[in-house]
Structure 1
């Protein structure tokens, strides 16, 4: 349900994005990986965002696969000697405050205090969209995989031989039928490489339904019979026990 954001208010943009996520299907599974961002989004000063900005900027970072927690304006990046890369798209951050103002009605002349509210948005970029910042703005992901953990030879061969594009980014595992590609969280976010391979096998099960392969119906909506059957098909191809049901 893509909508133009040209004339939408900040509240409308955030609300519509949340609705789109819900319509895509909220799945009650436990992910075998941990988010890589960690903590609240940060301003250029290092101070954490509060309120709806926490949820909103986390949602934006998750969708884009950003690793950095820090967001800043174009001017803040330039002040730090850095440059937003050409073509990068900004996100909105919300500024909100309430204050009391003393007013004097012309008719009565009696002064009263009225509560006023200010709500506006401004454009920010994630540090992963900016070149030239200091290394502190580009944190490395902490690997959750034990150093000695390795896949069995057959499982590694399966991962290496998949005839489909696999990209590691973000915090979601899914198969994109239009692009015919699989997106996975980085292997470092999984507790074991076996969980990574298991989740990848599940998404590869979905990929078998592509029109150039088995041409299977994927189901039009989360929760319908075809969608449930598709999940069973993908689950049957999972090569190791895993709680994910993407």
Structure 2
């Protein structure tokens, strides 16, 4: 399946530039992927959570402007709900993909369908903080620290992953299909322990018998850095799902420089990374829910 954009505006390049700018700022201070702890950004009217690169774009905008809400609307949706976007407010450009079928003539002159083309299209969102006339949803009762830990522990247990708490490094070992973590009491906080565990759990999903992630042919020597970006995003998405207040991008110039190198050389890389992180996030949560259901039925 081919992917095309309109020649007037290269959405891949535009959005990649926005993410690059955010990562560049991360060299000076930590980036908070998740601001409020209320979950993934979602549409206020439909209740649907945004996915992939749109999550990053909305989080980046919330971080930059200090928005307190994780809910968003298009200008039209705001009007339909009786609201009004305040004059002078700027929207966030997000994207969706549409598949078109292209027809061509065969040798006999008849028309037949030959190809599917993936077209990237923009749409624009405003945060509820930018809109008058619409009440913000009541913040759901936040999980306290014990419940947050319990929710994360539940994911680790019901994913079925083998975790060894030993040594002084965190890593996923493909040869034994196991995750190794330092003992949890060696971390600065419980949330830091679980964020690292979820990062490694995202790596775990990339095994050949799971999601089979392998970008060596595409990114060469930078494929390791690219997989690290997927794992960082996957951990952030999972943290949001579990209600963690914050997931910090590592303030490590080596990581960020490697990611910037990949993104600057391939304008579609951030779309791939965010999409793969969303797949890993969904794979883990589906696995956890399925194993829980089997346990209850037993």
So what's the TM-score if we normalise by structure 2? 0.40
Q: Which has the higher contact order (CA 8 A, sep 6+)?
A: 2
Larger radius of gyration: 1
Would you tell me which structure has more helix in proportion to its own residues?
2
